[in-house]
Structure 1
Amino acid sequence: MANSIPPIYGEGDATLQAVGGLTGLQSLVETFYRIMENTPEFRPLFDMHPSNIELTIDKLVSFLSGWMGGEKLFSKKYGPISLPQAHAHLIVTEKEKAMWLNCMAAALDELSYSEDLKAYLLPKLEFPAERIRQVSAARHSESV
């Protein structure tokens, strides 16, 4: 008899499947960056990115695919990654961290993802965002 209980987020690729697989993830990331570009409160964050936003989108989709339990596309395409080191050249404070998380929440809302997925995903995304902020703070406090 098949188990009809849905997988729990964070187990296997359940989180990736909850966002709609790679197709849903691509849509989420494209929506995220569109909101970031077109919303005045998030625009400073968008301006921190390289002008080739398509590459940025692909890198985030590739990273999140593996992070959500799917195929580790980032390492296949771009090699190893250390998120904090990849962002260490940027000044990332609590303000930028909050903007990033709020922009992702807005994208999840716009695409009508379930409240339970948002309640799981946003706190999980806060961890890498905080590590990026910590490394930025350490790097930039040395140069002051």
Structure 2
Amino acid sequence: MTQSLYDAVGGQPTFARMAAGFYEQVRTDDILGPMYPANDWEGAENRLAWFLAQYWGGPQTFNEQRGAPMLRRRHMPFPVDRAAAERWLELMGRSLDQIDEETIPPVYRHAIWDHMQRVAAMLINTADEGTPPPIAH
């Protein structure tokens, strides 16, 4: 039986640390902070940890608590432009870097980072300031 990435990196505690490190930064971030309701930091942190754990082979807690992830749809109410996506990656990268290589070896770190880059790009739903709207055909 093949071990999941979730199990290989220590399971839920590792993803909880990643989410906690991310949200610790978001609270005071000028771009991402205002997107979060001040009374739901713990909820947001839990949802991120659940999502990451589930995606990488852990328990289905996100689906049980929230339904299917539908990331793009869930983030549509928030203006996610390139700057917000890049900031999300910056803060997630710092959080990932806080976890030692013994816990998340380079091969798994690379897989997690690659996924984060794809998610950040996929969530962009707002044109950058000064960018003309797309031309309709």
TM-score scaled by length of structure 2? 0.78
Structure 1 runs (4+) deviating above 6 angstroms are: none
User: Aligned partners of 1:80 and 1:119: how far apart in 2?
Assistant: 25
User: Aligned partners of 1:55 and 1:26: how far apart in 2?
Assistant: 12
Q: Does 1:54 align with 2:45?
A: no
Aligned partner of 2:15 in structure 1 is 25
Provide, for residues 17-74 of structure 1, a one-character-per-residue CA deviation record: whole Å limited to 9, x for no partner. Answer: 3432101211111111112334xxx442122112210000111111111111112211
User: Aligned partners of 2:25 and 2:7: how far apart in 1?
Assistant: 23
SS in 1 for 2:31: helix
Provide, for residues 123-142 of structure 1, a one-character-per-residue CA deviation record: whole Å limited to 9, x for no partner. Answer: 11122222211xx238xx69
Aligned partner of 2:126 in structure 1 is 137
Provide, for residues 61-90 of structure 1, a one-character-per-residue CA deviation record: whole Å limited to 9, x for no partner. Answer: 111111111122111111223100100011
Q: Which amino acid aligns with 2:119?
A: P
Unaligned runs of 5+ in 2: 128-132
Percent of matched pairs sharing the same residue = 22
Q: Which amino acid aligns with 1:83?
A: L
Task: State the structure with bigger RCO (CA 8 A, min sep 6), 1 or 2.
Answer: 2
CA RMSD of aligned residues (A): 2.3
Q: Which amino acid aligns with 2:97?
A: D
TM-score scaled by length of structure 1? 0.75
User: Aligned partners of 2:88 and 2:25: how far apart in 1?
Assistant: 11
User: Aligned partners of 1:76 and 1:124: how far apart in 2?
Assistant: 22
Count the aligned residue pairs: 125
SS in 1 for 2:27: helix
User: Aligned partners of 1:90 and 1:18: how far apart in 2?
Assistant: 34
